[in-house]
Amino acid sequence: MSFDFSSLLWMAVIAMALQPLLMGRWFALKREQAIRAIEKTHETRVITMIHRQERRSLFGLSVSRHIDLEDAQTIIAAIKETPSSVPIDLILHTPGGLVLAAMQIARAVEAHPAKVTVYVPVYAMSGGTLIALAADEIVLGEFSVLGPIDPQILGFPAASIVKARDMKPVAEVMDLTLVLADVSEKALAQVKRGAVEILTPRLDQAAAEIVADKLAGGHWTHDYALTAAEAKSLGLPVKVGMPTEVLDMMKLYPQPVQQSGVEFLPVELPRRPRV
């Protein structure tokens, strides 16, 4: 059987098109093995929610992810099918997303009878932090961070919209600003109430309201990095020390090569002189 140049060219094109799918399948198998290994070591049920840009399509295009209703449906189903006596390890890596979806997941986490531990290898911002608040224990790495849970309206902090309205007499405020401020006040009240709800099993009512106001009240910018020390000072059940197996599993969620400018070589230990 002979191949001409055009046949070889088409085979190369097909191989390039299939490569992202084959690599994605390989990473999926490796992730399954890693999850099974963590479950065996920790004697828990492992659920992951990792939001990164991955080569997900046929042509290797990057897709950015955030917490959505599909995530909520999947995680809730996984929690409900977990036996009530089995602890859960929930591994989070997310910039946040829909408040509705995050609250649904947080309530499912809180409702699980056995211990739920949230692991944050790098960051769990906004809705990710809201979910973490429902856990019995939050495990952070040395440089891992959480973030504020203040709601955003049309890309602007709700607390800032309310503040902008209050800085002027009502007669000088645009109708659109008044409408947005009204929505913002409702959003702030709803998120604070939701945070208090998921915090009260571990904190008393007064302490839960203080933490909810601090995280949801617009005291920081939305991308503020809340360190383990600050989270502990708020009374959150934070533990520092990320297991190696969780960090190793994160390597199985790669960024597209063209998206990263970071490169490094393996460490070479100095050779010992021979005697």
Q: Above 70 in pLDDT, residue 235? A: yes
Bridge partner list, 273: none
Name the average pLDDT for the chain. Answer: 87
Q: Above 70 in pLDDT, residue 7? A: no
Confirm if 159 and 224 have CB atoms less than 8 A apart.
no
Q: What is the pTM of this model?
A: 0.83
Angle between helices 175-199 and 158-166 (to 10 degrees): 130
Q: What angle (nearest 5°) sits at the alpha carbon of residue 260, between those of residues 122 and 29? A: 65
Task: Give the residue carrying structure tokens 């809705």.
Answer: 127
CA atoms within 13 A on the CB side of 160: 12
Confirm if 147 and 222 have CB atoms less than 8 A apart.
yes
Distance (Å, whole) CA 67 – CA 196: 21
Q: Above 70 in pLDDT, residue 118? A: yes
What confidence tens digit (pLDDT) does each residue in 125-162 have? 999 999 999 999 999 999 999 999 999 999 999 999 99
User: What secondary structure does DSSP assign to 28-85, as a single string?
Assistant: HHHHHHHHHHHHHHHTSEEEEEE---EE-STT--EE---B-HHHHHHHHHHHHTS-TT
Distance (Å, whole) CA 89 – CA 38: 9
Which residue ranges form the domains of the chain, and what is each CATH number?
18-147+225-256 (3.90.226.10), 150-221 (no CATH)
Distance (Å, whole) CA 146 – CA 226: 5
Task: Please report, as a single letter, which amino acid is at residue 193.
Answer: R
Confirm if 54 and 24 have CB atoms less than 8 A apart.
yes
What confidence tens digit (pLDDT) does each residue in 172-215 have? 999 999 999 999 999 999 999 999 999 998 899 999 999 999 99
Distance (Å, whole) CA 223 – CA 146: 9
Distance (Å, whole) CA 78 – CA 235: 29
Bridge partner list, 156: 153
Q: What is the pLDDT of residue 59?
A: 43
Distance (Å, whole) CA 131 – CA 179: 29
Alpha-helix residue ranges (DSSP H) falling in the chain: 5-42, 69-80, 99-111, 127-132, 158-166, 175-199, 205-216, 228-233, 244-250
Distance (Å, whole) CA 164 – CA 177: 8
Q: What is the pLDDT of residue 264?
A: 67
Q: What is the pLDDT of residue 148?
A: 97
Once rounded to an integer, what is the mean pLDDT over residues 68-94? 95
